[in-house]
Amino acid sequence: MHPITHAQARPDHPAIIMAGSGKTVSYGEMEAYANRFAQLMRARGLNRGDHVAILMENNADYLQLVWGAQRCGIMMVPISTRLTAPEICYILDDAGAKLLITTHAFDEVMQDIRRECAGVPVLLVGGSGEESLEDALAAQPAEPIADPLPGQYMLYSSGTTGRPKGIRPAPPDDDDVLAVTPLVGLAVMGVGWPTDGSMIYLSPAPLYHAAPLGWCTTAHRLGATIVVMEKFDPETALAAIEKYKVTDSQWVPTHFVRMLKLDPSIRTKYDLSSHQRAIHAAAPCPVPVKREMIEWWGPIIVEYYAGSEGIGMTLIKSEDWLAHPGSVGRAIHGVLHVCDADGNEVPAGTDGLLYFENDKIPTYHNDPEKTRDAMHPKGWMTLGDIGHVDGDGFLYLTDRKSHMIISGGVNIYPQEIENLLVTHEKVMDAAVIGAPCPDFGEKVVAVVQPMDMGEAGEALEAELRDFLSPQLAKIKMPKLFDFRAQLPREANGKLYKRELRDEYQKKAEAETEQA
Q: Are 40 and 251 in contact (CB under 8 A)?
A: no
Question: According to CATH, where is 3.30.300.30 located in the chain?
Answer: 404-514
In terms of Cα–Cα distance, which of 193, 171, 159, 492 is closest to 315? 193
Burial environment of residue 134 by CB neighbours within 10 A (0 to 12, 13 to 18, 19 or more): middle
- For each of the chain's 515 residues, which pLDDT tens digit applies? 899 999 999 999 999 999 999 999 999 999 999 999 999 999 999 999 899 999 999 999 999 999 999 999 999 999 999 888 999 999 999 999 999 999 999 999 999 999 999 999 999 999 999 999 999 999 999 999 999 999 999 999 865 456 788 999 988 888 888 888 888 989 998 999 999 999 999 999 999 998 999 999 999 999 999 999 999 999 999 999 999 999 999 998 889 989 999 999 999 999 999 999 999 987 778 899 999 999 999 999 999 999 889 999 999 999 999 999 999 999 999 999 999 999 999 999 999 999 999 998 999 999 899 899 999 999 999 999 999 999 999 999 987 777 888 887 778 888 889 889 999 999 999 999 888 887 778 899 999 999 999 999 999 999 999 999 998 888 889 999 999 999 988 766 778 888 888 888 888 877 777 76
Q: Are 416 and 351 in contact (CB under 8 A)?
A: no
Question: According to CATH, where is 3.40.50.980 located in the chain?
Answer: 180-283
- The CATH architecture to which 3-173 belongs is 3-Layer(aba) Sandwich (3.40)
pLDDT at 160: 47
DSSP 166: E
pLDDT at 492: 66
Mean pLDDT of the chain: 92
Separation in Å, CA 87 to CA 27, 82, 165: 35, 10, 11
Strands of 60-158, DSSP E:
75-78, 99-103, 122-125, 152-153, 155-156
Q: Are 265 and 240 in contact (CB under 8 A)?
A: no
DSSP 284: P
180-283 CATH, one of 3.40.630.10, 3.40.50.980, 3.30.360.10, 3.20.20.100? 3.40.50.980
Question: According to CATH, where is 3.40.50.12780 located in the chain?
Answer: 3-173
pTM above 0.85, yes or no: yes
Q: Are strands 75-78 and 51-55 parallel, antiparallel or unpaired?
A: parallel
For 34, phi then psi, to 5°, come to: -60, -40
Q: What angle do CA 129, 133, 136 make, to 5 degrees?
A: 75
- The CATH architecture to which 404-514 belongs is 2-Layer Sandwich (3.30)
Separation in Å, CA 399 to CA 284, 425, 435, 485: 9, 24, 17, 25
pLDDT at 159: 52
Positive/negative CA dihedral, 143, 145, 149, 151: negative
Separation of alpha carbons 372 and 186, rounded Å: 28
CA-based R_g, the chain, Å:
23
Q: Are 365 and 347 in contact (CB under 8 A)?
A: no
